[in-house]
Structure formats: C-alpha cells, structure tokens
C-alpha cells in the first residue's frame, strides 16, 4: 500500500479528529457547521443514512413513563461534525458514537426544533465518511394524545401501545422518522413479569430478570420505515386464529393471532376467521406471498386512527374487531372491509413503501381499491363496486373546493403530512385507480401491479414507478402517463359536457367538452384540462377514448343516432357529466333499465347539478320519486342527502318543511313499515342495513312523527334500568340502538342525558359505548354543554370525543351553542387531542354552517392561530369555503319550488 493510500484509509478508520488529513478537510469544508445550519423541517439530508436499529425499552404501563436505549447503525456519507435525526419529548441522558475502528466517543443530543421534533447529534469533532454506530440512552413519558408509545387505562388495567404513522415514531425513540429510510429493527422489551408483549415479529426468546421483570427479544424485522414499527405491552388476551395455509406463493403457513384487552379475547374469533380468505385473495392478485413471519390483529382500547397496517401486527380500534352474535350486519361488514384494507397494505405500503409523503396515495388509495376488489370476490353481496362509486362521489365534494388537496400534494412541512390522510388520498385515489384499470382492462392492470410489487419489494417507490409499470403492461406511452398524472398532480373534478349530433357529415357523433366542475359560488377557474378516459354507454355498446384537449368528438358505433346514451359507462370514471337537455331527457326515460353503477352515477349527477345551481328542489324531488323504488339499497337512498340539505337549509316555512317530509314519507315510509323495527329471522343483511338507514334518515333527519314514535319506544325501553342498575340496552334492536337513544335524548333531554352519563363509565363494550356517546351528541340547549364538558373528561377516551362533538349542528341556534362552547374550551380540546387533530378543529367548531357570518367568525378565530398547529391552515380554508358555498347556494334557491 502506498503511503498516500495508507493515510487516506487511516482517515476513514480513524475516529474523531479536530485536525484531520487534508483530503478530509477539503470534503468537510464544503459542509456547513452545525452552528450555522438551520434544522431541516421537511426532509432530512441524505448524507447520514440509518442501516438498522437495535432498540431496548423498559416499560411498565402502570408508570408514567419508560426508558430506552437505541443503537443505530448508520452510513455517514460525507465528512461532518454532526447529523440530523428526529426526537420529540425525549430526555436523552447519554450519546455514544462508535466509529469504524471501534473507538467510542461521547456525543451530544440537541433539540433543534421542539415543535417539529428535529434533533441534532453533535460529534464533538469532524468524522470522515464511514460506517458508525450511534447509541442513545433516553427516558420519555407515555404520550397522552395517542401518538408514539402511549398509555391507556381501560377497565382498571394499564396498557401501552404504539401508533407511529405518520410522524410519531420520534415520540417513541430517536430515529430517522421518514418513509425513505427503510431498515430492520431488532426490539427487546423489558416488562413486568405478569404482562405480555407483542411486536412486528415473532418472539425469539424470553428471560426472567430480578425485581419482577422479564425481557422479551423479538426477531429482527424485514426492512421497514419507522412508521410501521409497532409493539404493545399489558395484560392482553392472546388467542389463536386459523393459520393461513401454505400455497404456491408461500412455502410456510402463517400463524394468526388476536390481541385484545383482558377478558375480550373470545370476541376476536369472528374477525380472525376472516383473515385467511383475505390474505389468499390478495396473494393471488399480486402473485406474491404474504411477506412476514406471522400476523397479529390487535384490538386496542383507544386509538387515533381506524386501523394501522403495521407489518405483522395490525392494530385497530377495538370495536372493529370485537364481534359477538348480536353484532349488526354493518359492524360485520366494517370489520371485513377494514381488515381487507389493512391487510392489502402488507403489499402496498409494507412490502413496497412510498419514498416520501407526497405519495401516500400509493399506500392508501391502493389499499382502498384492493379492499373493494377483495370484498367483491369473497362477498359480492357487499356491493363494494357501488361502494367505490359512492366513495369517489364523496371525495368529489371536497375535490370541488378551491382549497382541496392534490392526490400528490407537495409537502412543505408537517402540516401537509398530517392532512394527507383524507378522502382525496383514499377515495379519490381509489376511484382514479379504478378508472384507469377500467380503461386498460383488469388483466393488463393486474400484470402491471404484479411487476410493480416484484420490482420494488422491500424497497421504496414513487408514483412514476407505479404509473410506468401500468403503462408498460398496457403498452401505453407518454400520453397515458400524462393522463394519469393529470389526476394526481392537480386538484378538482372534471366536468364532461356532452351533446349528441345526429347529422355530423352524415353520421352521428357525440360532442365532448371538458372543464372543471365548480359548485355555485365558487371562486375557482373552470378552465382546466385532464387526460380523461371517457367511456360512454350506447344501446349498441361502449365506446372509450382519452379526452386530452378542451373538446373532441366521439364516433358512435354503427354511426346511427342512439335512442339514449350514458356518459359514464359502468360508473367507472372519476368525472361528472352535464348533458344537453334533450339528451338527458332521453336518458331519464331509460335509466331504470341501466345497470346499478350507472343508475348511481345518474343520481350523483342530480346532486351535482343542484349544487351548481342548474337544478331546483322540485327537480330533486322528481328524481327522488324516480330512484326511491329501486330494489338496490344504494340507489334508493342516493337522493336523501341532497334532500336533507334542502330540508335543513332551503326550506324556510313550516309548510315547506312539511312538504318535504310528506314527499319523503310517501317515497320511503312504506318500505320501512314493511321491514319493521325489529330483526326478522332469515332476513337478508341488506334488509337490515336498509332498515337502519331509513330509520336514521326518516327519524332524525326528516323528523317523521311515526318513525320517531317507534324509535322512542325502543329508546325508552333501552334506558330503563336493568338488574345491574344500568340501562337495559339489550331491550332495543342492536342495529337501531344508537338511533333510538338519539331520539330519546332529543325528546326527553336531561333525564335521558343523565342516564347515559351515568352508564358510560360503567360500560366497557365498545359497540354500546359508541351508541351511547353518539346519542349524547343529540343533546340540545344547556344539556349540550353538559355532554360536551363530559367529552373532555377521563370517562371518554380520546378517540371517542368526536362521537359527541360531531353532532348537534342542525340549526343555527345549535351551531351557535357549539361555537360558543368550542371557543371557550379550545385549549382543552387541543391539549387532549394533540396536534394531529389540527386540520379537523375548524370543522368540529363550525362544520355545517351556512351563512357568511359563520364563515367570517371561523376565519377570525382560527387565523391568528395559524402556524401554532400543523394542518390548521388547510382545515380552516376548507371549512370556511364549505360554509361560504352553502350560503351562496342557499341564497340562490327559490324555496317556493319545494311546494310546486
């Protein structure tokens, strides 16, 4: 070895030096010193890259905090005297840096930005590029807002569990808390000897230590981002479920277990039985075996999300997994659908992970789309094909706002990350995926998905990787990629205007034009272009083409003028349509003979035209009369949301409200009466679901007296004390319990409220708690403030608060009461829910408003607080805009049309 080469090698291997060799000095000189560089509040720099974590935690959930030591193997790619990582609310006691030569040096942990959770490790001198080990000892409190490693006391027992997504691993331990840093974790937990612990991987060994402790070491994980690390400690029930048999994609069976709070393990059986079929369906689609060594489903006693796809340890709100013989069809379907969604993430999210948060749709949209696909395969009676359309239409309400997010929203700070988990990401994303799948064909799309998973397994990917894989499988070029990107990289809902020209150069053509759909009162610019896969159904077949320009013509099969056409064939397109008047009249005559999906998008076109001011209340009532007789539940119920808006905001007199009630009763009450208010032996799930929907809508939304009387009878029976002194909730139909109790609260006020307030602390069953909490949201006047105060107390879980706070806003007086209470308790609400809820706070305070005064007061209250809570700016903008649009539509309507 030449002397110069030897010197260079010693520089790399040779520890810390305040006077390093010349080549290293030149490299280091290009890097700012720690004291001169601002903390990175978006992405961490790429010159310090973790390779693995070895995390040891000592945790007793009965205490207020825990201690830990993390050893991070990392690759320092350039000379530096510091590095950046993440840590929040951690008390670091010691930092040790071990260089490539094995020499240990003391470092220093500096909290550079406490709000963002960005920290700096100072080396004490410049280190050359090399492999390092960074060991950090720390203590931390259990988080109080369901983030990071948090604690819940439930039924007298203490539990500690994790929720890391999106950026809460930094609360649990010092780490590189970004999805692009995807590395293995080896975890050991020292816990009380009588507690149990679970984590992402199987237990490797367990040893008993002195003082009533034991240490459990888990197998190393596959490469994962920090947001997927998970563990839980407490007196859990752990029950075995049916193993997933070996198959062509996987040589070994996968053990399945359920994790529940003490005494609730047996309620996991129905949920666990669903797992093998879901996993096998997803394996068959992707052609790639379930990638982890075991699968646990955990029903957590309090949880900020609905569920979380942690690799090998999927966590849920308890009520989503705890089922019994009386569980409603709605609850059972929710369990299946959420399981299918979270388990789909084991491929899209866990095996292939987004590189950065602007591509969270690669996780959530694909899991939503796959959930719907799996449900249609295993349970076609669930009609998740229609669910995808309904979800897309729900997203359109938000996407019509000027303040809407893009699917691939640029990330400028933590607020953009925390507001990314919305209907745009999930439901619009799934609808856009379904649209392009429909355009290229299901088999071609599946080939592209299989290629994508295999190419990026256990690594990271971007939107370009996914779209490129689909384009490659479909043999599509740049035009296809650009079209797909036009839905990802801009906001808004396309509006496709159509007009039939039956004599265009001797042949029939359909004129197409595109713009942005905007509701009445919007300040948005309608001049926008997408690459829209427009598919139109004609009596002679379906024609598809990519509408890329402002306008185009579609040739009609056979060249003959059709009797009718449907502008959104199969309801597969993420766009709304506006038809020439005569063309629409022809479709209306034929709509009852169209398939279910096309009838559903026709119903949405009624709502869309009403909200852009081109259809009045009388025409909506006509559409209701046309759709209500449908035997398909989703189609029959579709007009009710629009009619509820008219009843709530447009109707100004008792006579107008009575006219709507009477019209709704004529259309729907006979069906509810035929179903009755009790379960019937052998009835279909769809009948039970229709009963629940009609009872809720007719009893609470439209206040039909006979329905309220029947529900009140059940509510009164449920409120009577049973043998244990608590309300006899089993006296009501379990499917209608929440609705019946809500009517009782509205009718009786204080006595009903007092009974529920006394019962909730004594009730642990999550389904019954949900019913009682939801009913309390219907309290009015002084009682409304009583139940809102109750929501801030310890008898209500953090994750349950919005069950109470989400209702009580039907009238202006109710909204004023909620507003006054909210503004007086803002700090308490924020402290209890944490900054993750920031985007939702304006909606909680003022959602449902419909006057300029309400828009102005929400702006005045929250605007000075922008910057204090991540995501608050977007939440404010959307809430304010929704209120202003409601006010504009209300002002434009002619209420006299209701009685015409």
Q: What is the pLDDT of residues 340-396, one digit of tens each?
A: 999 999 999 999 999 999 999 999 999 999 999 999 999 999 999 999 999 999 999
Q: What is the Rg, in whole angstroms, of the alpha carbon atoms belonging to the chain? A: 29
Q: Which of 757, 767, 695, 692 has its CA nearest to residue 726?
A: 757
pLDDT at 899: 85
For 59-111, the pLDDT digits (tens) are 999 999 999 999 999 999 999 999 999 999 999 999 999 999 999 999 999 99
Residue 32, pLDDT score = 46
**Is residue 431 pLDDT above 60, yes or no?**
yes
β-strand pairing of 203-209 with 80-86: unpaired
> Considering only CA atoms, which of 697, 617, 694, 613 is closest in space to residue 659?
617
| pLDDT of 1 strictly over 90 | no
Share of the chain above pLDDT 90, in %: 92
Cβ burial of 36 (10 Å; 0-12, 13-18, 19+) is exposed
Which residues are CB-neighbours of 234 under 8 A, at least 6 positions away?
Answer: 61, 157, 158, 159, 160, 161, 195, 196, 261
- Judged by DSSP in three states, 634 sits in helix
CA distance 561 to 538: 10
| 854-874 confidence digits (pLDDT tens) | 999 999 999 999 989 999 999
User: Across 424-506, where does the E strand assignment appear?
Assistant: 459-461, 494-504
Residue 546 host element (H or E): strand 541-547
- Give the mean pLDDT of the chain: 94
Write down the pLDDT at residue 557.
85
Confidence band, pLDDT 50/70/90 cuts, at residue 24: very low
- Give yes or no for a cis peptide into 673 (omega within 30° of 0): no
What gap in Å lies between CA 585 and CA 355, rounded to an integer? 49
pLDDT at 516 over 90: yes
Rounded Cα distance between 139 and 56, Å, is 12
pLDDT at 900 (0 to 100): 76
> Residue 10: how many CB atoms within 10 A of its CB?
14
pLDDT of residue 35: 56
pLDDT single digits (tens) 557-568: 888 899 999 999
- Phi, psi (degrees; rounded to nearest 5) at 701: -75, -45
- CB-CB contact of 885 with 521 (8 Å): yes
Is residue 816 over pLDDT 50? yes
Q: Is the pLDDT of residue 774 over 80?
A: yes
**Distance from CA of residue 835 to its chain's centroid?**
17
Q: What is the pLDDT of residues 279-315, one digit of tens each?
A: 999 999 999 999 999 999 999 999 998 999 999 999 9
Measured N-to-C along each axis, helices 737-748 and 750-759 cross at an angle, to the nearest 10 degrees, of 130
Asked if the model's pLDDT at residue 540 lies above 60, the reply is yes
Does residue 21 register a pLDDT over 50? no
Strand order from edge to edge, sheet including 231-234: 148-154, 157-163, 231-234, 196-199
With a CB cutoff of 8 Å and minimum separation 6, the contacts of 26 are none
The predicted structure's pLDDT at residue 34: 61
Asked if 166 contacts 357 with a C-beta cutoff of 8 angstroms, the reply is: yes
DSSP β-bridge partners for residue 598: none
Other C-beta atoms closer than 10 Å to the C-beta of 581 total: 8
pLDDT in tens, 121-137: 999 999 999 999 999 99
Residue pLDDT, tens place only, 656-708:
999 999 999 999 999 999 999 999 999 999 999 999 999 999 999 999 999 99
Q: What percent of the chain has pLDDT over 70?
A: 96
Pick from 377, 372, 386: nearest CA to 599: 386
pTM of the complete model: 0.95
pLDDT band with cut points at 50, 70 and 90 for residue 837: confident
Which pair of tokens denotes residue 884? Answer: 């202003």
* 3-class DSSP assignment, residue 542: strand
pLDDT tens-digit series, residues 355-366: 999 999 999 999
pLDDT at residue 234 is higher than 80: yes
Do residues 656 and 898 lie in contact, with contact meaning Cβ atoms separated by under 8 Å? yes
pLDDT at 532 over 70: yes
pLDDT of residue 835: 67
Residue 829, CB half-sphere, CA atoms under 13 Å: how many? Answer: 22
Residue 31 has pLDDT above 70, yes or no: no
Residue 8: its pLDDT value, please? 33
Percentages (nearest 5) of helix, strand, coil residues in the chain: 45, 20, 30
At residue 17, the pLDDT reads 32
694: tokens are 């009609």
Short-list 859, 832, 835, CA closest to 845: 859
C-alpha 745 chain-centroid distance: 30
* Rounded Cα distance, 680 and 669, in Å: 18
Environment class of 900 (CB within 10 Å of its CB; exposed 0-12, middle 13-18, buried 19+): exposed
Cα angle vertex 744, ends 738, 747, to 5°?
A: 140
Q: Please give the biggest Cα pair distance in the chain.
A: 99
List of residues 6+ apart from 568 with CB closer than 8 A: 535, 536, 575, 577, 598, 601
Residue 503 is predicted with a pLDDT of 86
pLDDT of residue 403: 97
What integer pLDDT is reported at residue 408 of this predicted model? 98
What pLDDT is stored for residue 27 in this prediction? 34
Q: pLDDT band for 811, please (50, 70, 90 cuts).
A: very high
pLDDT, position 506: 80
Q: Is the pLDDT of residue 625 over 70?
A: yes
Candidates 101, 73, 106; CA nearest to 175 is 73
- Tell how many helices (H) and how many strands (E) occur in the chain: 32, 28
pLDDT of residue 838: 83
Q: What mean pLDDT do residues 192-220 have?
A: 97
**Mean pLDDT lowest among 10-19, 124-133, 267-276, 737-746:** 10-19
- Lookup: tokens for 835: 């900054």
Per-residue pLDDT reduced to its tens digit, 174-194: 999 999 999 999 999 999 999
């Amino acid at each position: 070895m030449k002397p110069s080469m030897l010197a260079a090698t010693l520089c790399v291997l040779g520890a810390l030096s305040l006077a390093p060799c010349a080549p290293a000095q030149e490299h280091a000189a290009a890097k700012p010193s720690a004291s001169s560089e601002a903390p990175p509040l978006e992405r961490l720099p790429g010159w310090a890259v973790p390779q693995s974590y070895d995390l040891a935690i000592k945790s007793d959930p009965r205490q207020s905090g825990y201690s830990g030591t993390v050893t991070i193997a990392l690759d320092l790619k350039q000379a530096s005297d510091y590095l950046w990582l993440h840590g929040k609310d951690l008390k670091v006691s010691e930092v040790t840096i071990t260089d490539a030569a094995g020499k240990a040096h003391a470092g220093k942990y500096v909290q550079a930005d406490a709000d963002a959770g960005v920290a700096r490790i100072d080396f004490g001198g410049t280190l050359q590029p090399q492999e390092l080990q960074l060991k950090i000892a720390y203590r931390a409190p259990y988080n109080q807002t369901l983030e990071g490693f948090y604690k819940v006391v439930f039924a007298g027992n203490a539990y500690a569990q994790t929720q890391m997504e999106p950026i809460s691993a930094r609360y649990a331990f010092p780490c590189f808390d970004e999805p692009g840093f995807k590395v293995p974790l080896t975890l050991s937990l020292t816990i009380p000897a009588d507690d149990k612990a679970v984590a992402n991987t199987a237990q490797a060994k367990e040893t008993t230590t002195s003082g009533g402790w034991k240490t459990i070491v888990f197998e190393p994980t596959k490469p994962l981002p920090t947001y997927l690390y998970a563990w839980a400690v407490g007196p859990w029930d752990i029950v075995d479920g049916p193993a997933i048999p070996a198959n062509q994609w996987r040589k070994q069976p996968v053990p399945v277990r359920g994790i529940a709070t003490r005494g609730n393990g047996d309620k996991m059986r129905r949920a666990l039985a669903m797992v093998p079929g879901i996993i096998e369906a997803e394996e068959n689609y992707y052609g790639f075996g379930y990638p982890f060594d075991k699968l646990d489903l955990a029903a957590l006693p309090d949880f900020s999300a609905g569920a979380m796809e942690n690799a090998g340890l999927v966590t849920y709100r308890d009520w989503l997994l705890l089922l019994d013989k009386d569980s409603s069809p709605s609850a059972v379907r929710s369990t299946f659908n959420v399981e299918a969604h979270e388990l789909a993430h084991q491929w899209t999210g866990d095996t292939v992970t987004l590189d950065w948060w602007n591509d969270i749709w690669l996780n959530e949209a694909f899991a939503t789309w796959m959930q719907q696909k799996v449900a249609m395969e295993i349970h076609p009676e669930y009609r998740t094909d229609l669910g995808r359309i309904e979800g897309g239409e729900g997203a359109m309400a938000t996407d019509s706002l000027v303040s809407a997010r893009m699917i691939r929203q640029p990330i400028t700070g933590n607020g953009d990350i925390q507001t990314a988990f919305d209907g745009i990401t999930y439901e619009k994303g799934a609808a856009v995926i379904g649209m392009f799948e429909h355009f290229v064909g299901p088999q071609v799309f599946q080939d592209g998905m299989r290629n994508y998973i295999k190419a990026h397994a256990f690594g990271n990917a971007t939107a370009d990787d996914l779209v490129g894989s689909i384009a490659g499988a479909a043999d599509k070029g740049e035009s296809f990629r650009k079209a797909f990107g036009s839905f990802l990289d801009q906001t808004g809902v396309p509006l496709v205007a159509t007009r039939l020209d039956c004599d265009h150069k001797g042949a029939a053509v359909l004129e197409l034009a595109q713009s942005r759909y905007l509701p009445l009162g919007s300040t948005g610019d309608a001049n926008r272009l997408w690459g829209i896969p427009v598919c139109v159904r004609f009596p002679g077949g379906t024609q598809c083409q990519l509408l890329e320009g402002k306008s185009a013509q579609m040739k009609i099969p056979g060249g003959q003028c059709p009797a009718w056409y449907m502008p959104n064939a199969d309801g597969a397109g993420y766009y709304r349509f506006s038809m020439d008047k005569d063309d629409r009249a022809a479709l209306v005559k034929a709509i009852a003979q169209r398939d279910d999906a096309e009838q559903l998008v026709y119903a949405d076109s009624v709502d869309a035209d009403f909200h852009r001011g081109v259809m009045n209340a009388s025409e909506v009532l006509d559409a209701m009369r046309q759709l209500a007789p449908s035997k398909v539940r989703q189609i029959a119920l579709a007009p009710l949301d629009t009619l509820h808006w008219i009843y709530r905001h447009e109707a100004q007199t008792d006579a107008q409200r009575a006219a709507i009630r009477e019209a709704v009763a004529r259309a729907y009450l006979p069906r509810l009466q035929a179903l009755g208010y009790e379960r019937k032996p052998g009835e279909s799930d769809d009948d039970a679901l229709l009963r629940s929907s009609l009872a809720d809508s007719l009893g609470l939304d439209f206040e039909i007296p006979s329905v309220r009387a029947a529900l009140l009878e059940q509510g009164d029976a449920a409120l009577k004390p049973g043998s244990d002194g608590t309300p006899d909730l089993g006296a009501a139909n379990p499917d209608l319990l929440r609705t019946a109790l809500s009517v009782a609260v509205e009718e009786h006020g204080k006595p009903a409220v007092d009974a529920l307030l006394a019962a909730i602390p004594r009730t642990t069953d999550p389904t019954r708690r949900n019913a009682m909490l939801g009913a309390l949201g219907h309290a009015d006047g002084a009682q409304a403030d009583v139940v809102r105060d109750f929501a801030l107390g310890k008898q209500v879980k953090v994750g349950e608060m919005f069950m109470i706070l989400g209702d009580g806003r039907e009238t202006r007086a109710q909204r004023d009461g909620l507003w006054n209470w909210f503004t007086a308790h803002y700090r308490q609400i924020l402290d209890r829910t944490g900054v993750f809820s920031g985007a939702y706070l304006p909606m909680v305070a003022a959602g449902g408003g419909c006057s300029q005064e309400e828009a102005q007061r929400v702006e005045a209250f929250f605007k000075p607080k922008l910057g204090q809570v991540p995501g608050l700016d977007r939440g404010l903008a959307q809430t304010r805009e929704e209120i202003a649009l409601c006010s504009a539509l209300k002002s434009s309507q002619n209420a006299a049309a209701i009685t015409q």
